Chains A and B, each alone.
Chain A
Amino acid sequence: MGTVKPIIRSRTRRWKYTRYAGRTGSQFLIELRDNKKIIGTKCPVCHRVYVPARSFCHVCFKPMDEWVEVSNDGTLMSYTMVYQSEPSYPVKTPFAYGIIKLDGADTGITHIIGEVSPNDLKIGVRVQAIFKDERVGSILDIMYFKPI
């Protein structure tokens, strides 16, 4: 039937979800919201402290039910400065992401690094959690971590 111009159509697909944080996730978020505290869970076998808190140690495959409060201060394990903009990013670019090992934790928490210039971003830098004033029970109740 010869050549026709391909018909191209745009549209946006949207789906709505309610994701349950579960028993451990809920407690972690409640502590953030109500007490500005960051808590982890400790594996009864390998004694690693996981932050953010979760229900299982993936290494030992054991449920964890011991809560450990960790410091709001920690050390930067890695970072990136993001320049490219994408719809999923919660803040305007440029901004930084980092992996922070909080004092008392054995794993890193991944979050936004704020109040920082690219030159100050270094592995080993000490950072501190800055909480939002209005907290709703979300990982974003921590506004960001900032260098101290």
Chain B
Amino acid sequence: MSERIAIVGVGQTHFKSRRPEVSELEMVNEAVMAALENAELTIKEVDAVVVGNMELFEGDYQVDMWLAGGSGAYLKSGFKVQTGGSTGSSVCCTVFDLAATGEFKTILGIGFEKQDEGSSQASLRSIHEDVFFDVGSSGKSAATAVQSVALDMMRRKSITEEQVAIVRVKQAENAMRNPHAHLRKKITVEEVMNSPKLAWPLRVFHMCPTSVGACAILVAPELQVKKVSNNPAWVADWTNIHGAIQPFYGSITPSWISTPLGPMWAWSVEQAANRIYKRNGITNPRKELDVVEVYDMATWAEIEWWERIHLCERNDAHKLVEERATWLDGDIPVNPSGGVTSTNAIGASAMQRIAEVAIQIRGEGGERQVPNVRQGLAVTAGGDMYSAGVLIKKSL
């Protein structure tokens, strides 16, 4: 049977917009060392290393090769996995699978991005650039995707622009309590509402930053967990799902323009959560979950995900704002870390969602700790409609 597994350590660098003083390898090593320290383990107890990032963002082919010197992979098993923005959660799901075989003692998963070394814009553009569909492709930025979600929410009267700004302030407040977060600055509702428009109703302050940093997790099967950890975050379930029905081939992108099946991104997020709920008998997520981390590439997305993962009824997101339910002291805190809106080093972002839930379960959240966390959910979303859902518990 499959082994029960737990996260026994989490490590992160401090996230910034630039880190010219360290190489990519040195930066990754910081997260690895932090994870080992957090788990009170040495690299000797690790027997597999799984790495993930976006190849063209730093221009590294088979980056796990060069990184072997700093990732700890030397003479250990492992390989690289990559999807889109969900790369970090794909690494986690891979690590969880490996751990559940019981064939390994401890597995290290690493997600990172050093966006100060490349041109993220050009690398992102390469997603949809096409020789044959050579016109009209530049309109497909992440901002366009979020705009369509935002417009839809406004039409449905799910949320007001002011409420979105209030949620953005919540994200900033949480980030200020998280020493690792990138944007740690107090902002006001007025500042958010007066920030420049990107594509109405989307504003600059709603969007995630371009960050540099790395995240690492250590996962072990039960037998090893009992030996090495007195504070494991048990990974009860995980799932990964891909939702694009018609890929961005050339200029055709119904992926987020309204399709007969709705925006695909949202669809995969909802599916990921639904699978986890169904398999784990969760019928009232707002009540049964103590903390939630979502992949909020923009403030609007966080709010859309509230509905998609059933923290409230459809069109009722505004109620969660009115009740301040998703605030740190609310009944269902979302993104105590400050979320992707505060920190976005792409390859690390999705892993940080899972890592933060583990941190909360382990009671290591410091100023941002949510009291009495027994069970938490992380849901991620990334380019080409990849999503993952991970359920983490204090005890199984």
Contacts and interface: CB of A to CB of B under 8 A. Distances in A.
Contact of A22 (B25, B42, B74, B119): B25
B136 interface: no
Interface in B234-282: none
Contacts of B24: 19-20, 22
A13 B69 contact: no
B20 A20 contact: yes
Interface string A44-63: 00000000001110110100
A108 B258 CA distance: 58
A13 B29 CA distance: 31
Interface string B27-62: 001000000000000110000000000001011000
Interchain residue pairs A-B with the least CB separation, the first 7: A22-B23, A9-B131, A58-B69, A61-B43, A58-B74, A17-B59, A22-B26
Nearest to A54: B69
Nearest to B43: A61
Nearest to B22: A22
Contacts of B3: none
A22 B21 contact: yes
B58 A23 contact: no
B68 interface: yes
Interface in B283-319: none
A15 B29 contact: no
Interface string A22-50: 11110000000000000000000000000
Contacts of A20: 19-24, 114, 116-117
Contacts, number: 70
6 contacts: A17-B117, A17-B118, A23-B23, A58-B74, A61-B42, A61-B72
Given A13-B129, A22-B24, 8 more contacts: A11-B131, A15-B122, A20-B21, A22-B21, A24-B26, A25-B23, A55-B23, A61-B74
A7 interface: yes
Contact of A15 (B21, B70, B118): B118
A54 B29 CA distance: 12
Contact of B26 (A7, A11, A23, A61): A23
Interface of A: 7, 9, 11, 13, 15-25, 54-56, 58-59, 61
Given A7-B132, A15-B122, A25-B23, A56 B70 contact: yes
A15 B29 CA distance: 26
Nearest to B129: A13
A91 B117 CA distance: 26
B122 A16 contact: yes
B230 interface: no
Nearest to B114: A20
Contacts of B116: 18, 20
A42 to B, nearest CB: 15
B29 A56 contact: yes
A54 B70 CA distance: 10
B123 interface: yes
Contacts of A15: 56, 59, 118-119, 122-123, 126
A58 B123 contact: no
A16 B119 contact: yes
Contacts of A17: 58-59, 117-119
Contacts of A61: 42-43, 72, 74
B258 to A, nearest CB: 30
Given A15-B118, A18-B117, A55 B29 contact: yes
Contacts of A22: 21-26
B70 A55 contact: yes
Contacts of A11: 131
Contacts of B21: 20, 22-23
Nearest to A19: B117
B184 to A, nearest CB: 23
Among A15, A20, A24, chain B packs the most CB atoms within 10 A around the CB of A20
Contacts of B129: 13
A16 B42 CA distance: 37
A89 B123 CA distance: 24
Interface string B47-91: 000000000101100000000111010100000000000000000
A53 B369 CA distance: 41
Contact of B69 (A18, A21, A23, A56): A56
Contacts of B70: 55-56, 58
